[in-house]
């Protein structure tokens, strides 16, 4: 069976991505989790009558000073879910929903949140049956976790609200009846445990990290091909140059470019400039360029910090998806409840902001190279907009540049860190908030935009290859990329709409995000 074992530890972004993109993957609980889940649940039950426990026998948030009678403990949990399942806006994508549910399952499986085995098994059932609670986009401030979004998951667990099931939006109660199961009845603390944590933002971040890594790989290949097309000097990516400034990312990008271009016939050695141009006693201009513009020559220095940001962010995300982000939680060793703030989302909020800004910079680099090849007054060689027909009568890739320019500009408008947009709320109980969920959703927009820009760059570069007829001189790696682009987008001779072809190429590039 194609399965994913959950044990509260070792869950990776690639595991989440695999589950949400492959409907044949089934979740199964490790046998190791049951003892700790059961013992923590039993410990909570033994303390309900003589211990004040936040959110279990007290009110919530600023109303924590209200003690709840023992006959109303279940009502409190149900009221919490119903009152917070008030999100607005378009629903989250199903892959984001399943990612959030998977992360919540993983953290509850650690056995510190005092939930029952029955609740854990109900989450497994929903995941394996691919029952996706409908979760509106708006509502989370990302500080006492993703309260509003997770409340919509919890609402579906108890048989209320709406779900997407087998391609249709339906009432949750109808789906679970169809499956022959009863609505889940919450036990003390389980409502709070379901909604108090960073599972939505960190689940989304896990998926988007995979795409960020993929986009960087696409842009490295675009960069290699662009260097071939201008017949750049090879010293710009030399090991000797980059060892003089030993940032790991810069060194790695330069190394990747050297490896991609190892079989290229197009890069030039620096001494070719001296052979072809003689210094005389008079000032005179030569036709050769001495140095490439920065969008080519500084590729390792630009993509290097992006690589480091993306690489380092994975550790933060994977620590988070394997963490206990509930409150309160059980200290199993000392048999006491710990009250704190592990639900605060700033680790994810700051991290996705950093990834977002890196991808915005990547899209700027991509757009500038598109402009170089389109703009005859800059490149001094290629026809306007890489027109392979009759410039003036036909417009070639002119429309594509508008799309790249507007999409990059939109990315720039998203670049401001959303994690600093803290607004106190909850009667100033939550007086510093993370906005991590919204930050993750903005990153999603930047990811989508960056796919568009880098795809347009790939088409632009392929058109330049056709103009130069360099196919047989390309490196093996860049020749393969050229061929893949041409499988989706044919050479533009006569003007035509490219929307469908570009969309197909975007989806093709996305397919490599699975690692």
d(CA 350, CA 316): 10
d(CA 308, CA 493): 40
d(CA 474, CA 484): 14
Given a contact cutoff of 8 angstroms between Cβ atoms, the answer to whether 145 and 55 are in contact is no
d(CA 92, CA 367): 29
Three-state DSSP class for residue 344: coil
Q: For strand 168-171 and strand 3-6, is the pairing parallel, antiparallel, or unpaired?
A: unpaired
State the residue for tokens 């000797």: 240
What stretches of 123-261 adopt beta strand conformation (E)? 132-133, 136-138, 162-165, 168-171
Q: For strand 26-29 and strand 3-6, is the pairing parallel, antiparallel, or unpaired?
A: parallel
Q: Bridge-partner residues for 330, per DSSP?
A: 337
Q: Which fold does the domain 206-298+350-514 belong to in CATH?
A: Fumarase C; Chain A, domain 2 (1.20.200)
Per-residue pLDDT for 33 more than 90? Answer: yes
Exposed / middle / buried, residue 146 (Cβ in 10 Å: 0-12, 13-18, 19+): buried
User: Mean pLDDT, to the nearest integer, of 16-24?
Assistant: 97
What is the predicted pLDDT for the residue at 292? Answer: 79
pLDDT class of 427 with cuts at 50, 70, 90: low
User: Mean pLDDT, to the nearest integer, of 444-467?
Assistant: 99
Count of CB atoms within 10 A of residue 259's CB? 13
Tell me the CA end-to-end span of the chain in Å, nearest whole number.
21
d(CA 157, CA 184): 6
User: Mean pLDDT, to the nearest integer, of 64-82?
Assistant: 94
User: Mean pLDDT, to the nearest integer, of 381-405?
Assistant: 96
Cβ-count burial 190-209 (b if 16+ within 10 Å, e if not): bbbbbbbbbbbbbbbbbbbb
Given a contact cutoff of 8 angstroms between Cβ atoms, the answer to whether 407 and 454 are in contact is no
Per-residue pLDDT for 270 more than 90? Answer: no
Is the domain spanning 3-197 CATH 1.10.275.10? The answer is yes
d(CA 262, CA 459): 23
Catalytic residue (choose from 41, 54, 66, 414): 54
User: Mean pLDDT, to the nearest integer, of 244-272?
Assistant: 94
d(CA 379, CA 319): 47
Three-state DSSP class for residue 491: coil
What is the predicted pLDDT for the residue at 214? Answer: 98
Given a contact cutoff of 8 angstroms between Cβ atoms, the answer to whether 400 and 459 are in contact is yes
pLDDT class of 307 with cuts at 50, 70, 90: very high
What is the predicted pLDDT for the residue at 143? Answer: 83
Given a contact cutoff of 8 angstroms between Cβ atoms, the answer to whether 303 and 213 are in contact is no
* H or E element that contains 443: helix 436-468
What is the predicted pLDDT for the residue at 8? Answer: 95
Q: For strand 336-338 and strand 329-331, is the pairing parallel, antiparallel, or unpaired?
A: antiparallel
Within 109-198, where are the H helices? 117-128, 147-157, 172-178, 190-195
What is the predicted pLDDT for the residue at 1? Answer: 66
* H or E element that contains 330: strand 329-331
What is the predicted pLDDT for the residue at 431? Answer: 63
Region of poorest pLDDT, from 76-80, 227-231, 270-274, 278-282: 270-274
**pLDDT tens digit string along 277-294?**
777 778 877 667 767 788
Average pLDDT, the chain: 94
**pLDDT tens digit string along 466-510?**
999 999 999 999 999 999 999 999 999 999 999 999 999 999 999
Three-state DSSP class for residue 58: strand
What is the predicted pLDDT for the residue at 441? Answer: 97
What is the predicted pLDDT for the residue at 284? Answer: 72
Task: Please say if 54 is a catalytic residue.
Answer: yes
What is the predicted pLDDT for the residue at 211? Answer: 98
Q: Bridge-partner residues for 136, per DSSP?
A: 91
* H or E element that contains 91: strand 88-91
* H or E element that contains 39: helix 34-47
- Tell me the CA distances in angstroms from 375 to 312, 368, 371, 381, 403, one per residue in order: 37, 10, 6, 9, 15
Given a contact cutoff of 8 angstroms between Cβ atoms, the answer to whether 514 and 216 are in contact is no
d(CA 361, CA 318): 24
Per-residue pLDDT for 67 more than 80? Answer: yes
**pLDDT tens digit string along 129-157?**
999 999 999 988 878 789 999 999 999 99
Pull the structure tokens for residue 196.
């108090």
Note the pTM of the prediction, 2 decimals: 0.95
Per-residue pLDDT for 273 more than 80? Answer: no
**pLDDT tens digit string along 331-375?**
988 999 999 988 888 999 999 999 999 999 999 999 999 999 999
Q: Where are the domains of the chain?
A: 3-197, 206-298+350-514
pLDDT class of 42 with cuts at 50, 70, 90: very high
DSSP single-letter state for residue 293: -
**pLDDT tens digit string along 91-143?**
999 999 999 999 999 999 999 999 999 999 999 999 999 999 999 999 888 78
Looking at the chain, the whole-number percentage of residues with pLDDT higher than 70 is: 97
């Amino acid at each position: 069976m194609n399965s994913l074992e959950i044990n509260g530890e070792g869950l990776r972004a690639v595991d989440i991505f695999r589950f949400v993109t492959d409907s044949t993957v089934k979740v199964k609980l490790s046998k190791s989790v049951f003892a700790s889940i059961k013992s923590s649940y039993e410990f909570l039950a033994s303390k309900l009558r003589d211990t004040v426990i936040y959110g279990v026998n007290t009110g919530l948030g600023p109303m924590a000073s209200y003690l709840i009678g023992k006959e109303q403990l279940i009502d409190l949990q149900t009221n919490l879910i119903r009152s917070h399942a008030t999100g607005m806006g378009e629903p989250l994508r199903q892959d984001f929903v399943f990612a959030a549910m998977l992360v919540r399952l993983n953290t509850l499986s650690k056995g510190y949140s005092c939930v029952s085995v029955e609740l854990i098994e109900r989450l497994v059932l929903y995941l394996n049956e691919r029952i996706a609670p409908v979760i509106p986009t708006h509502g989370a401030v990302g500080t006492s976790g993703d309260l509003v979004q997770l409340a919509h998951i919890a609402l579906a667990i108890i048989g209320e609200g709406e779900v997407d099931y087998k391609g249709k939006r339906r009432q949750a109660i109808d789906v679970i009846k169809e499956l022959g199961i009863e609505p889940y009845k919450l036990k003390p603390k389980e409502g709070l445990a379901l909604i108090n944590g960073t599972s939505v933002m960190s689940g989304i971040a896990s998926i988007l990290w995979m795409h960020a890594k993929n986009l960087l790989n696409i842009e490295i290949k675009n960069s290699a091909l662009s260097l071939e097309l201008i017949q750049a000097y090879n010293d710009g990516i030399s090991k000797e140059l980059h060892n003089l400034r030993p940032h790991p990312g810069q060194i790695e990008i330069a190394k990747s470019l050297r490896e991609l271009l190892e079989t290229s016939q197009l890069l030039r050695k620096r001494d070719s400039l001296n052979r072809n141009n003689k210094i005389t006693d008079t000032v005179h201009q030569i036709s050769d360029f001495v140095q490439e513009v920065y969008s080519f020559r500084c590729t390792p220095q630009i993509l290097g910090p992006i690589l480091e940001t993306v690489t380092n962010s994975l550790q933060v995300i994977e620590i988070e998806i394997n963490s206990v982000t509930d409150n309160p939680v059980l200290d199993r060793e000392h048999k006491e409840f710990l009250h704190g703030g592990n639900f605060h989302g700033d680790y994810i909020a700051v991290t996705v902001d950093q990834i977002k800004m890196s991808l915005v910079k990547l899209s700027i680099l991509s757009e500038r190279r598109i402009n170089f090849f389109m703009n005859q007054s800059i490149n001094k060689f290629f026809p306007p907009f890489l027109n392979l027909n009759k410039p003036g009568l036909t417009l070639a890739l002119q429309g594509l540049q508008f799309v790249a320019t507007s999409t990059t500009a939109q990315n720039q408008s998203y670049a401001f860190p959303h994690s600093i947009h803290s607004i106190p709320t909850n009667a100033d109980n939550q007086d510093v908030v993370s906005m991590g969920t919204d930050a993750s959703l903005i990153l999603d927009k930047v990811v989508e935009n960056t796919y568009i820009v880098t795809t347009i760059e790939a088409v632009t570069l392929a058109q330049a290859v056709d103009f130069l007829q360099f196919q047989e001189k390309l490196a093996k790696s860049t020749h393969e990329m050229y061929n893949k682009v041409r499988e989706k987008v044919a050479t533009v001779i006569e003007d035509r709409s490219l929307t469908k072809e570009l969309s197909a190429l975007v989806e093709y590039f996305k397919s490599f995000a699975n690692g």
